[in-house]
Amino acid sequence: MPKERGLLLVMSGPSGVGKTSIVHELTRRFDAVFSVSATTRERSPSERDGVDYYFVSQEQFQRWIDEGRFLEYAQVFGRNCYGTPREPVERQLEQGKVVVLDVDVQGAANVKKEMPDAFSVFILPPSETELLRRLQERGREDLRAIARRFAEAQKEMEFAKSSGVYDAFVVNDDLFKAIDEVAALVKSRMGN
């Protein structure tokens, strides 16, 4: 008997909202596959090709664009390109797996065009003030970078709310509650 097709779960949210923690726990709970992106950036010594990213040249990345091999792709900060290869996602979905994509709002919009049955969830902060506090507390960046990330987050949230791309919005006021809420949404979408 053929396996039922899996679910493509598209997760988005601004920097500092806790999306990565939610994605890691969902991947564990659903024995899901986290989609590995392709990138043109240099590989760090701790990264493994095909595990952390598919590291490719600019020329190869452009070939993949021309051949329609990406579900979505983008150039980030004017330098490096990132994209979601279509074939591994399709293969995992055919095997009945939940496949998780962690992409920005533009990527999510492109994935929804390519795969309208994808289930997309946007993670929101409890408030903009709380998001700014979280960005500052991470201590990773200077004030200018934090201000840039915060302005970008405001644009992302506005786009997410007005675009019609997202099937659900979850507020991460409490991490464990947010994880449970997204997990319940996924189960409902899968018919479990």
Is residue 101 domain-resident?
yes
Contact between residue 174 and residue 163 where contact means Cβ atoms under 8 Å apart: no
Domain of 128, CATH number, reads 3.40.50.300
Give me the pLDDT at residue 24, please: 93
CA distances from 187 to 6, 30, 74, 79, 124 (A): 12, 9, 30, 38, 20
Is residue 83 domain-resident?
yes
Give me the pLDDT at residue 79, please: 80
Q: Inform me whether the pLDDT recorded for 190 exceeds 80.
A: yes
Is residue 92 domain-resident?
yes
Is residue 72 domain-resident?
yes
Q: Which two tokens stand for residue 12?
A: 């988005």
Q: Inform me whether the pLDDT recorded for 1 exceeds 60.
A: no
Q: State mean pLDDT over 90-109.
A: 94
**Cα separation, 129 vs 173, whole angstroms:** 12
Give me the pLDDT at residue 51, please: 85
Q: Which two tokens stand for residue 184?
A: 């319940």
Give me the pLDDT at residue 93, please: 96
Q: In a 3-state reduction of DSSP, which class is residue 156?
A: helix
Query: Which residue segment(s) compose the domain that 97 sits in?
Result: 7-190
88: phi then psi, degrees, rounded to nearest 5 = -65, -35
Q: State mean pLDDT over 60-68.
A: 94
Is residue 1 domain-resident?
no
- Mean of all residue pLDDT scores within the chain: 92
Environment class of residue 111 by beta-carbon count within 10 Å: exposed (0-12), middle (13-18) or buried (19+)? Answer: buried
Q: Please tell me the total count of domains within the chain.
A: 1
Total-model pTM: 0.89
Q: State mean pLDDT over 41-68.
A: 91
Is residue 18 domain-resident?
yes
Q: State mean pLDDT over 100-116.
A: 93
User: pLDDT band at residue 114, thresholds of 50, 70 and 90?
Assistant: very high
